[in-house]
Homo-oligomer: A and B are copies of this chain.
Amino acid sequence: MYLSRYFRFCVQQSSHFLRRESCVQQKYSTAAVQPKVDSSFVGALKSVVGDTNVSTADAIREQHGHDESHHAVSMPDVVVFAESVDHVSKVSMLCNDNKVPLIPFGSGTGLEGGVNALQGGVCLDLSKIDQIVKVNADDFDCVVQPGVMRQALNSYLRDTGLWFPIDPGADASVCGMCATSASGTNAVKYGTMRENVLNLQVVLPDGRVIDTAGRGRRTKKTSAGYNLTNLFLGSEGTLGTITEATIRLYGIPEKTISAVCHFEEVSDAVNTVVSILQCGIPMAKLEFLDDTAIAAFNRFSKYDMTEAQTLFLEFHGPAYGLDDQFQSVKELVEMNNGFGLKQASDTDERNRLWKARHEMVWACTALIQGSKPYSTDVCVPITNLPEIVTKTKEMVKEANVLGPIVGHVGDGNFHIFFPVDHSDKETFKKVYDISHRMALLAMDLNGTCTGEHGIGMGKRDLLIAEVGEETLGAMKQIKATFDPNNIMNPGKVFF
Contact = CB atoms under 8 A, between A and B. Distances in A.
A302 interface: no
A332 interface: no
A31 to B, nearest CB: 16
Given A467-B213, A477-B481, A141 B381 contact: yes
Interface string A453-474: 1110001001100111011111
A218 B381 contact: yes
Interface residues of A, number: 100
Contact of A224 (B191, B218, B467): B467
A24 interface: no
A231 B234 contact: no
B227 A470 contact: no
A474 B277 CA distance: 40
A200 to B, nearest CB: 10
Contacts of A466: 214, 217, 224-225
Contacts of A204: 474
Contact of A412 (B220, B274, B452, B470): B220
Interface in A467-488: 467-468, 470-475, 477-482
A183 interface: yes
Contacts of A212: 471
A221 B413 contact: yes
Interface stretch (A69-77, A317-325, A335-343): A317-325
A167 to B, nearest CB: 14
A145 interface: no
Interface stretch (A57-65, A417-425, A442-450): A442-450
Contacts of A191: 195
A2 interface: yes
Nearest to A478: B226
A217 B278 contact: no
Contact of A482 (B282, B379, B472, B474): B474
Given A209-B470, A466-B214, A224 B141 contact: no
A379 B228 CA distance: 18
Given A217-B446, A383-B138, A223 B451 contact: yes
Of A140, A183, A379, A467, most B-chain CB atoms within 10 Å: A467
Interface string A278-293: 1111100000000000
Contacts of A480: 481
Given A226-B478, A481-B481, A211 B468 contact: yes
Contacts of A225: 234, 455, 463, 466-467, 471-472, 475, 493
A15 interface: no
A173 interface: no
B383 A136 contact: yes
Contacts of A138: 274, 278, 382-383
A149 B140 CA distance: 34
Contacts of A475: 225-226, 228
A86 to B, nearest CB: 15
Contacts of A493: 225-226
Top 10 A-B residue pairs of the complex, sorted by shortest distance between their CB atoms: A321-B321, A230-B230, A320-B324, A214-B467, A222-B448, A139-B381, A251-B280, A210-B471, A219-B379, A223-B454
Given A183-B221, A224-B448, 19 more contacts: A138-B274, A139-B381, A181-B227, A204-B474, A212-B471, A214-B471, A219-B411, A221-B413, A223-B234, A224-B454, A224-B455, A224-B459, A224-B463, A224-B467, A225-B472, A228-B475, A254-B280, A282-B282, A321-B321
